Structure 1
Amino acid sequence: MAGLDHNDERQIELQTALELYNNAPCGAVSFYKNGIIFEINQTMLDWLGYERDELVNKKTLPSLFRVGGQIFFETHFFPLIQMQGFIKEVYFDILHKDKSVFHGLINARKVPTSADQPNIYQATILDISDRWNYEMELLKAKRKAEADSKAKAEFLATISHEIRTPLNAILGIGNLLHATPLNENQKEYARLLLHSSENLLGLVNNLLDLSKIEARMVELEEVSFNLHDLVEVLQETYSVKASNKGIALQVELGENVKDQFVGDPVKLNQILTNLVGNAIKFTKEGGVTLKIHVKAACSTSQTLHFEIIDTGIGIPPEKLELIFQEFSQASYDVSVEFGGTGLGLTISQKLLELHHSKMIVKSILNEGSSFSFTISYTLDKDASSKKGITTKSSDLEALMNCLVLIVDDNPDNIFIASQYLNQWHVPYHAAKSGKKALQLVEQYDFDLILLDLQMPKMDGYQTAKAIRELPLKSQPSIVAFSASTKGEVSEKLQQAQIDDHLPKPFKPNELLEVLLHRESFNTSNVASESSESPLKTSLVSTKSASEEIDTAPSFSIQRYKKMANNKPEFIKKFVLSTLDGLITYKEDFDGIIKNNDLKSLSALIHKSTMSLYYIEAEQLSAMLKEYRELITNPAPDTAQIEKVKSDCLNEFTIIIEGLNKTASQL
């Protein structure tokens, strides 16, 4: 600078630097190790509302924070500076002089000094109040959107539920009407009624599925299923539609694709149903092919690749993303010509996301499309004998001695269920309330109760709990039937000790399958057993003679033989089901022993009663009750408790081994 000496220039530079420091767009604070502020810029003073002499050498930096911030500064913030020499972008609520708050983001560092100088630290502070307020508004908007989405989902679920209840009557009457003698015109009317009601049911189910997915109420189940059977049923179902359109439906199943897996067959079937149904709908000539092959495999699982290929109308490239949007289709013309809501692909994509998978689409306009995805399933190596019951006409004879109770406050639902039971010659009673149901249960020995969940005053859950508390000779099997899906109410079903679930509206074969699958539907047959000595399963006891254990046979499958009309495949199903139950009961008993849990013991005795009844394991049942009496005695006999405990464990082992052996021989 001309005309200025070196000292003047230095003075100007210092003055400029000081002005930049004081008027910087961020706050600046220098402090000692004990937190005392020894320097602060004007920007920070203006933000806080203090004068310089009110803070410098009088207040600490942490004193400018809220209590929580002061604690965090002492326990985390400052120790981290000392460890690494700096810290970046830590949020603090900083107090103005009037105790109001501004939101600050702090960067701090340790300033190097000589050994004889005290440690000093510098902090720069950004006022992010505007950003913070903006983020809070975004968060509020996000929460509102989530709440709106949940409200929409709950509304759709409620509306869908309300629609499904009368739809049950429409579909039921349609099925009943179609089965009666009709002239040609009447048959066509009944067919149209069934077709329209099934389409409406499909729409309602899609709406309900979408609402549940958006409300995060859908979870994957882990059950055993036969993939080959699932695909075969799917092919049979859609072959008729394909044939009516003059196109072919083919299934190509890789030779190394296993049949038994553990996973969620319902959701897989839903995905495949949507894709195959769409492919047939949008294909006018040519055909549709479902291909399944193994993409990867190990000893415990297989990753399967599914692909549905059609020779249909195809999708323009710019429309590929649109097809996965809710209520959307590739074009207005497509919607008009082919119909539909555009929900199928949306739901399928969301169901695949639950499987950590994604739909891949390839399409050429007017030539066809390919939809593919992969899902990994665990192999079910113990499922070779888990075959379903086929509903042949001869099986209906087994139901003629079954006494059923229908409980529903809707007379239409009672009428429809009763008409099906009349067709199968199944005796029944009906109750329009939970209170009336309890009266009938005390009068008659019912084998099966079809119980509506939504009833006024006393709902299905309360009714089931009340039935389970009655001192009945034998507990009936309880099947809930309601417009709610099983996934929505599974926890409540378990708590109410309800055995199974049949969603409304149901088709005749679905009700028949439930009747045939319930283990306890033939309880009433037990009372009419012949005087002929039942065939017991002979087993060698592993107990020593010194223990003086009763050497009577431990169990019998005679009741299962009667229930299954001596059909080995049905008997084996009953035996395997009971075997699974006994293994669980033994594990529960082991836990009860370790924890001396009387409440759990009573629950175990209760839930095992029917299983032990059907295999006539009176000895184990008596032992469990004796053990409960012994441990509740004010003056317990330790030696006797240990003996009975050992007897129970031994008896569990004998029965489990015996059931295993029996199943292998069937």
Structure 2
Amino acid sequence: MMEGRADTEPEKEPSEDSAEELYENAPCGYLSTSPDGRILKVNQTFLTWTGHSREALLGGKRFWELLTVAGRIFHETHYAPLLQMQGFVQELSLDIVCADGRPLPALINSVQKRDALGRPRFVRTTLFNMTERKRYERELLMARRKAEQLAQSKSALLATLSHEIRNPLNAITAATRLLGMTTLSDKQSKYLRILGSASGNLLALVNDILDWSKIEAGKLSLEQREFSLRELLGDILNGQAARAEEKRLRLQMEIDERVPAGLLGDPVKLGQILTNLVSNALKFTEKGGVTVSVALRSRDGDACDLAFQVRDTGIGIPPDRLAAIFEEYTQANYDIGMKYGGTGLGLSISRKLVALHGSKMVVESEVGRGTCFSFDLRLKAVAEGAAAGTAPSSAASPQALRGLKVLVVEDNEVNTYVLARWFEHWGVSFDAVRNGREAVERLRQGSYELVLMDLHMPVLDGYDALKVIRRLPDERLRQIPIIAISASTRVWEESQVLSAGFTDFIGKPFDEAVLFRKMARCTSREVPEAPAQPPEAAPRAPGAAADALVLAPDFSFTKLRQWGAGDPQASAALARSSAQALEQARLTLTAALKKGAPDEYERAFESITGPLHLLEAHGLAAALRRARALLAGTAPDATRLQAAVFAIDWEVESLVGALVTLASEAAP
């Protein structure tokens, strides 16, 4: 037994030595101090970190003497009172002064030990060396700053590229429209359609990338303005109607009758969401159709909870790819991307815009049967008749701008030329200058009614020129309407431009119809409502340019002559039969519109698809599609129906007049 005890006793000493060694060489520093702060014990780790000797510290040195000046103040005002009050201090960051004077960042935890009577005996402090952590923090901070600088550089680059790309793109798209108003051969018309399609796709690509950059940079915010949801949806469906008709797809909307006529929200961003969803649905649908529906879930006072859905009968999405379709630059699979094209940004942008409204995009799909995208929004209702629609319900007179005198401030000659062609078309007289300084001088000399001003120009840009103009002594010039024009993404929000003092804003590439409406509105040249009867239409040569922006007939007799095989008598017979068919259909179409009978309207529309194709009557076809979209909605606006009847009458009158002229010229 004695031998056994002798064997066990020597094992205690190594165990005690190991505990002391663990204390001395622990990965953290240890200090024990008296209640008045004198250092009683310290481990080797702390000595190694700081370079102090044990003798120097245990010879009456106090803990607070090892701190920096700022640390001593913090010790007196926070550390010591907290320790006295609660008996412990946790996770305090202080700098320890080393023997060579350098600071050592440390994380400190202290516990006060008391005797049986509750009197303080000593304080045990644990210190963690924060040198590496501070270095990592500095590196992370530097990396964050670099990332922010990179994001700012990317934003600036996109803004510059936007201006450089959209300026020539504006000229391309506008020149394409102008070229389409001239007499063209069949081959030229085909090339023109290809050019228009390619420029439109390029513009969509640029817009998607720029929209994504705005969202990433957090530059988008919601505006609050009054609008009509029915008009917004009608405009979206009208814009997509041509694409649906090309693929022979149904495109319809269903709006709950309880949805208020006027709402308060951001119609631009809501329109972008719905346009992306409808465009995407049409792209991936080969047969059947696309339906946009809005239902009123509940209403609490002015607050309306609306449920939006865009359903299609397209190819569908596999279940394992539903989540991936919302990722940027991603489509359901490689084959779909190759077949249908696109950037893969549309759905991602829509989802983020929905999230900006505080909602969530939901998708349900079945392969081969279709897809449904849905989201809920809470919007406020406004008083009946108070909503300012996204498009004016009254039609602007085709001659509304005739005689208007405009000053164009634009440093790009191509853009000035494009504007000149449109102004010539509308009967607008104008002068052009290349920078803001010249604009101020010209305004002092001339009597202009409106200014179109680019924002980014040499010498004096649009913003500075505006400030000068608004400070001129002439009251008329201080009040003159000025429309800002820009292709740059630096103009993040229309409200930002308007708050600077501009009357209105239009981005490039701009739609000439939008420009026409803005110019008419800014100069108070809008007509309160469309005339009850269309003006007498004079026959015109096929393909000749019209004198009006809206309701301008657009047709060609090239195919009709080809079908006549060069025989004037055959061409005359085809012209007379087409005129008769159009006249008969017009009566049925307008009657169906006035009664609100979509089925009768659809049958009449289908009865003249042949003549529409033969005569390439794009203007009449567009007017018919707009009217059909109105009937598809719930309780269409009477003013818009009246305008649709007027448009159909105008197009048919012009087309029939030209057909009668053609038939009489071919008669023996």
Task: State the TM bucket, normalised to the shorter chain.
Answer: 0.7 to 0.9
- Tell me what 1:537 maps to: none
User: What SS does structure 2 have at the residue aligned with 1:481?
Assistant: strand
Give the secondary-structure state (helix, strand or coil) at the position aligned to 1:445: coil
Q: Does residue 502 of structure 1 match 2:499?
A: no
Residue 94 of structure 2: aligned partner: 92
TM-score (norm 2): 0.72
Change (3 A) 1:280 1:67: farther
The 1:489/1:267 distance shift into structure 2, 3 A limit, reads closer
Q: Secondary structure at the match of 1:315?
A: coil
Residue in structure 2 matched with residue 354 of structure 1 by the alignment = 356
Cα 1:394/1:248, change in 2 over 3 Å: closer
Q: CA deviation at 1:113?
A: 2.6
User: RMSD between aligned alpha carbons?
Assistant: 3.1
Q: Which amino acid aligns with 2:219?
A: M
Aligned to 2:660: none
- Amino acid across the alignment from 1:174: T
Structure 2 CA distance for aligned equivalents of residues 404 and 315 of structure 1: 52
Residues 413-452 of structure 1: matches in 2 within 5 Å?
A: 413-452=415-454
What is the CA–CA distance in structure 2 between the aligned matches of 1:90 and 1:139, rounded to whole Å? 21
- CA distance, structure 2, for counterparts of residue 289 and residue 394 of structure 1: 30
Pick from 407, 410, 423: which aligns with 2:409? 407
Partner in structure 1 of residue 376 of structure 2? 374
Matches of 1:389 and 1:112 in 2, distance apart?
Answer: 80
Q: Could you tell which deviates more after superposition, 413-422 or 12-21?
A: 12-21
What SS class does the counterpart of residue 395 from structure 1 fall into? coil
Query: Where do 1:120-135 residues align within 5 Å?
Result: 120-135=122-137
Partner of 2:482: 478
SS at match of 1:488: coil
Q: Which of residues 62, 73, 84 in structure 1 aligns to 2:75?
A: 73
Pick closer, same or farther for the CA change 1:364–1:262 going to 2, 3 Å: same
Cα distance in structure 2, aligned partners of 1:109 and 1:322: 52
- Hey, what does 2:319 align to over in structure 1? 317
Gapped runs of 5+ residues in structure 1? Answer: 523-562, 570-666
CA distance in 1, matches of 2:345, 2:148: 20
- Give the whole-Å Cα distance in 1 for the aligned partners of 2:467 and 2:432: 19
2:520 corresponding residue in structure 1: 516
1:164 aligned to 2:166? Answer: yes
- Decide whether the 8 Å contact of 2:32 with 2:125 is kept in 1: yes
Cα distance in 1, alignment partners of residues 51 and 212 from structure 2: 55
Where do 5+ consecutive residues of structure 2 fail to align?
Answer: 532-668
Partner of 1:175: 177
Does the 8 Å contact 2:396/2:527 carry over to 1?
no
Output one character per residue of 1:607-661: Cα deviation in whole Å (capped at 9) or x when no partner: xxxxxxxxxxxxxxxxxxxxxxxxxxxxxxxxxxxxxxxxxxxxxxxxxxxxxxx
The answer (yes or no) to whether the contact 1:287–1:310 under 8 Å persists in 2 is yes
1:461 aligns with 2:463: yes
Verify the 8 A CA contact 1:389 1:513 in the aligned structure 2. no
Describe the shift of the 1:123–1:381 C-alpha distance in structure 2 as closer, same or farther (beyond 3 A): farther
SS of structure 2 residue aligned to 1:399: coil
Instruction: Identify the residue that residue 298 of structure 1 maps to in structure 2.
Output: 300
Provide the rounded CA distance (Å) in 2 between the counterparts of 1:566 and 1:170.
Answer: 34
Aligned counterpart for 1:263 among listed residues 249, 262, 265: 265
Structure possessing the higher relative contact order (Cα contacts under 8 Å, 6 or more residues apart): 2
For 1:465 and 1:235, how far apart are their aligned partners in 2? 40
SS in 1 for 2:397: helix
Native 8 Å contact 1:160 1:207 kept in 2: no
Classify 1:565/1:303 alpha carbon distance in 2 versus 1 (closer, same or farther; 3 Å): closer
AA at the equivalent of 1:503:
G
Q: Which residue of 2 aligns with 1:326?
A: 328
Give 1:510 shift.
Answer: 0.9
What SS does the corresponding residue of 1:375 show, helix, strand or coil? strand
User: Distance between the aligned counterparts of 1:389 and 1:256, measured in 2?
Assistant: 22
Cα distance between partner residues in 1 of 2:306 and 2:387: 23
SS in 1 for 2:231: helix
- Post-superposition offset of 1:296: 4.4
**1:363 match: secondary structure:** strand
Asked if the contact 2:498–2:504 (Cα under 8 Å) also holds between the matched residues in 1, the reply is: no
Aligned residues: 527
Contact 1:306 1:374 in 2 (8 A): yes
Q: What does residue 592 of structure 2 align with?
A: none
Which residue is equivalent to 2:253? 251
Query: How far apart are 1:204 and its partner, in Å?
Result: 0.8
Q: What CA deviation, in whole Å up to 9, does each residue of 1:238-266 have, x standing for no partner?
A: 23212221222232222332232222211
Letter in 2 for 1:497: G
The letter of the residue matching 2:492 is E
The worse-fitting range, judged by mean Cα deviation, of 33-42 and 217-226 is 33-42
Q: Could you tell me how far apart the structure 2 residues matched to 1:67 and 1:364 are?
A: 70
CA distance in 1, matches of 2:292, 2:422: 35
Q: Which amino acid aligns with 2:69?
A: V
Indicate the larger mover: 372-381 or 282-291. Answer: 372-381
2:231–2:391: 8 Å Cα contact kept in structure 1? no
The CA deviation at 1:34 is 4.0
Partner of 1:54: 56
* Shift, 1:420, TM fit: 1.6
- Quickly say closer, same or farther: Cα 1:568–1:204, change in 2 above 3 A: closer
Question: Secondary structure in 1 aligned to 2:331?
Answer: coil
Q: Aligned pair in 2 of structure 1 residues 394, 462: CA closer, same or farther (>3 Å)?
A: closer
Give per-residue Cα distances to partners, 1:441-477, cap 9 Å, x unaligned.
1122222100111111111112222222222241311
Structure 2 CA distance for partners of 1:83 and 1:412, relative to 1, 3 Å: same
For residue 148 of structure 1, what is the aligned residue in structure 2?
A: 150
Deviation at 1:229, TM superposition (A): 1.2
Structure 1 pair 491–364 and aligned structure 2 pair: CA distance change class (3 A): closer
**1:272-283, aligned counterparts within 5 Å?**
272-283=274-285
Aligned twin of 2:562: none
SS in 2 for 1:171: helix
Q: 1:363 offset after TM fit, Å?
A: 2.4
- Do 2:319 and 2:365's aligned partners in 1 also have CA atoms closer than 8 Å? yes
In 2, are the aligned partners of 1:307 and 1:371 still within 8 Å (CA)?
yes
Query: Per-residue deviation at 1:338?
Result: 0.4
Q: Matched residue of 1:35: which SS?
A: coil
**3-state SS, counterpart of residue 492 of structure 2:** helix
Tell me, in whole angstroms, the C-alpha distance in 2 between the residues paired with 1:261 and 1:247. Answer: 30
| Corresponding letter in the other structure for 1:359 | M
For the 8 Å contact 1:485–1:503, the answer to whether it is kept is: no
**Counterparts of 2:228 and 2:67 in 1: how far apart (Å)?**
64
More off after superposition, 20-29 vs 158-167? 20-29
The alpha carbon displacement at 1:389 in A equals 6.3
Cα gap change, 1:196 to 1:382, in 2 (>3 Å):
same
CA contact (8 A) 2:482 2:504 kept: yes
Is the CA contact (8 Å cut-off) linking 1:389 and 1:516 kept in structure 2?
A: no
Deviation per CA, 1:516-538, whole angstroms, max 9, x where unpaired?
Answer: 221xx25xxxxxxxxxxxxxxxx
Distance in 2 between residues matched to 1:270 and 1:139, nearest whole Å = 37
Cα 1:34/1:424, change in 2 over 3 Å: farther
Name 1:655's counterpart in structure 2. none
Question: Matched residues in 1 for 2:247 and 2:472: separation?
Answer: 57
Counterpart contact for 1:29–1:41, Cα < 8 Å: yes
Which residue identity lines up with residue 514 of structure 1 in the other structure? K
CA separation in 2, counterparts of 1:359 and 1:287? Answer: 21
Measure the CA separation in 2 of the matches of 1:568 and 1:392: 6
CA distance in 2, matches of 1:59, 1:568: 95
